[in-house]
A and B are shown apart, each in its own frame.
Chain A
Amino acid sequence: MAFLESVSVSATEKVAQVASTFPAGITPFNGGLLLVATVLAVRAFVPPRPLPQPENTAQAARENKRRSRRRGLSRLSNTVQMLTGLQQRPAPVAAPAQSAPPYTAPPQSTRLLQGAFTALLDEVFVFDPKTLAISFMNSKAEKRVKSMGLKKTKVSFPNLLPEGNRSVILEAARNLQHSSLDTIVFELASDESPIELTLKLIREKDEPEYFMAIMRDVSGRVTEARAQSEYVATLSHEMRTPLTSIKGAVDLIASGKLGDLSGGAAMTLGVAQRNVDRLLRLTNDILDLEKMDAGKMHCMLEPVALTALVTEAAQDIQEYARQFDVSVNVEAGDMDDSSVLADRTRLLQVMANLLSNAIKHSAPQDEVCVRVEDQGGQFRVSVVDCGPGIPDTVEHDLFEPFLQGPQVQRKVASTGLGLSIAKRIVEAHSGTIGYESVPDQGATFFFEIPKLDTAEEEAA
């Protein structure tokens, strides 16, 4: 993974070791596609170096007061001092009188830890959820603050954000505190270069929460991703073109419309037909996998209105549905606020997959129904069809790739990957995906995503 290349392996190990000595409240984020964030979460819990000491005692006293007001963060300050051996330096700002931190680390690792933290090519900031003032930053972060002309001691998190993104990110950060997620990743397109911002909410048992923000220059990755998706598009075209010709030729000859075929010729042609179809399916699968991998790098979460997205997906698929003489209906109830934290493009992809499956399995004149339901802490989106349903004999997991099998009758060949892609996307949104089916009565495929609570709902 690209991220691991920026820190030497031994440093990463040391970080992981130290991270494992921290209280159990800090656990890596368990998510499918946000594996990237997991790596960051483990690495990012390298305790940040405290701000360099202020020059005079009056300033020191002010600094001290500000810190003591934030209990949790001062506790961290003590911890940091202990772990980075800073108590050996000339006495810093009189630390607020707090109980000793509950964990220690062997002295050798602190130097390595400090080194690793300094070596981090990412900028790490720690800030308080209420005041948004930044209390700790690593050296790379200091450089940024300096280059922005801001004072290290007086910078707040909003100062770091480009104006256009500021309110969305702050809103998302506020909502993170009310949701079951603990990490969000943003891509900020700024004038200089694209930046990936990871916001992690650190929740320790019995401790006030605080945020850790990690900012990383991803211009390299963006170029890579662009090249990758261009490659996939070209590959897609290059492979599909000759396959079109072969399949077309074989099908045309087999139809008999280009001349009569002997029995032997017809049978042999059948071999060619079956295998061309097989090759086509395989090609599609491989290309989908490629797309999935390329897509892994970009899962951009932002507040999204779920009902609007679902309606858009239904509209997008109308043309396809018409080819099968199937109608698509959306039932969303009257929900004022259907906000979720999501990547629009990826969710649209999930909808497209579920809808096209439902349509493919429906008979002409059938209706596919899409429902959005409020389930308290989450929303459930269901796609209901009246097709043949999923037979009881299906033993394998429909959400695993490449399972086409004769057990599931399909009118139109599909690649067998769509559901597994959908599952990965839904899981990256901290959601769950599943299906219910009664054979011969149709199937309902659904996914559930946690709500994005608004402050008002929380207060109510």
Chain B
Amino acid sequence: MSVPPKILHVEDDADIREIARLALEVIGGLSVHQCASGMDAIAQAEGIAPDLLLLDMTMPDMDGVETLNRLRALPGLAGIPAIFMTARAHMHEHAELIEQGANAVISKPFDAMTLAQEVLTIWDDVK
């Protein structure tokens, strides 16, 4: 098992943020920074220096794909692994998302009890 990643989670819904934080920090023991929008994430990313991105797909103003592209354009974050979180359930829809730049896709609603484990499995695969 590799060193656990520092995660940057971008999600506009405050309650989902809270559940995800509990799931990752309390259940999973992982270090998580959270932003409510793509713009916030871009402003804070360099200071946070994350190892892994967890991005909600549908956000107002800037969606998951645009957020990813702009984050990866920042110094030090080129090629940073990213996981998209989406309510779209079809397999071929997941494949499409991977084509758009994600390393993996996690479906919403996610299982709070297993989210940390899923993230770590993906992290291990990516590293």
A248 touches B112 (CB 8 A): yes
Which chain B residues numbered 18 to 40 have a C-beta less than 8 Å away from chain A? Answer: 18-20, 22-23, 26-27
Question: What is the bound-complex CA distance between A308 and B45, given in angstroms?
Answer: 43
A240 touches B15 (CB 8 A): no
Question: What is the bound-complex CA distance between A356 and B108, given in angstroms?
Answer: 17
A252 touches B22 (CB 8 A): yes
B91 touches A233 (CB 8 A): no
Say whether A89 faces chain B, with CB atoms less than 8 Å apart: no
B109 touches A252 (CB 8 A): no
Given A252-B23, A252-B27, A255-B113, A241–B16 Cβ distance below 8 Å? yes
Question: What is the bound-complex CA distance between A258 and B27, given in angstroms?
Answer: 9
Say whether B127 faces chain A, with CB atoms less than 8 Å apart: no
Partner pick for B108 among A244, A251, A255, A345, CB 8 A cutoff: A244
A interface secondary structure, majority = helix
Say whether A323 faces chain B, with CB atoms less than 8 Å apart: yes
Interface flags for B83-96 (1: CB within 8 Å of A; 0: not) read 00001111110110
A323 touches B121 (CB 8 A): yes
Partner pick for B88 among A236, A349, A356, CB 8 A cutoff: A236
A252 touches B90 (CB 8 A): no
Q: How far is the CB of A319 from chain B (nearest CB, A)?
A: 7
Give the size of the chain B interface in residues (CB under 8 angstroms).
29
Given A252-B22, A252-B27, A247–B87 Cβ distance below 8 Å? no
Question: What is the bound-complex CA distance between A236 and B91, given in angstroms?
Answer: 16
Say whether A131 faces chain B, with CB atoms less than 8 Å apart: no
Residues of A within 8 A of B118 (CB): 323
Question: What is the bound-complex CA distance between A319 and B92, given in angstroms?
Answer: 11
A319 touches B104 (CB 8 A): yes
Partner pick for B27 among A233, A257, A356, CB 8 A cutoff: A257
Partner pick for A241 among B87, B90, B95, CB 8 A cutoff: B87
Question: What is the bound-complex CA distance between A233 and B108, given in angstroms?
Answer: 13
B90 touches A233 (CB 8 A): no
Residues of B within 8 A of A284 (CB): 89
Question: What is the bound-complex CA distance between A77 and B113, given in angstroms?
Answer: 73
Q: How far is the CB of B23 from chain A (nearest CB, A)?
A: 6
Partner pick for B19 among A244, A317, A356, CB 8 A cutoff: A244
Say whether B51 faces chain A, with CB atoms less than 8 Å apart: no
Partner pick for A244 among B16, B58, B105, CB 8 A cutoff: B16
B13 touches A240 (CB 8 A): no
Question: What is the bound-complex CA distance between A147 and B91, given in angstroms?
Answer: 45
Given A255-B113, A258-B22, A319-B104, A245–B91 Cβ distance below 8 Å? no
Given A237-B87, A240-B87, A319-B94, A252–B19 Cβ distance below 8 Å? yes
Say whether B111 faces chain A, with CB atoms less than 8 Å apart: yes
Q: How far is the CB of A251 from chain B (nearest CB, A)?
A: 5
Q: How far is the CB of A410 from chain B (nearest CB, A)?
A: 15
Q: Closest A-chain residue to B27, C-beta based?
A: A257
B109 touches A320 (CB 8 A): no
Question: What is the bound-complex CA distance between A348 and B94, given in angstroms?
Answer: 13
Question: What is the bound-complex CA distance between A9 and B39, given in angstroms?
Answer: 56
Residues of A within 8 A of B111 (CB): 247-248, 251
Residues of B within 8 A of A317 (CB): 91
Can you list 10 pairs linking A and B with CB atoms under 8 Å apart?
A241-B108, A243-B109, A245-B13, A247-B112, A248-B22, A248-B112, A252-B22, A319-B104, A320-B91, A352-B91
Q: Sort A-B residue pairs by CB-CB distance and give the 3 closest, nearest first.
A: A248-B19, A244-B109, A248-B112
Residues of A within 8 A of B (CB): 233, 236-237, 240-245, 247-249, 251-252, 255, 257-258, 280, 284, 316-317, 319-320, 323, 345, 348-349, 352, 356
Residues of B within 8 A of A (CB): 13, 15-16, 18-20, 22-23, 26-27, 58, 87-92, 94-95, 104-105, 108-113, 118, 121
19 further A-B contacts with Cβ under 8 Å, apart from A236-B87, A252-B23, A255-B113, are A240-B87, A240-B109, A241-B16, A241-B109, A244-B108, A244-B109, A247-B112, A248-B19, A248-B20, A248-B109, A249-B15, A252-B112, A316-B92, A316-B94, A319-B94, A320-B91, A323-B118, A349-B92, A352-B92
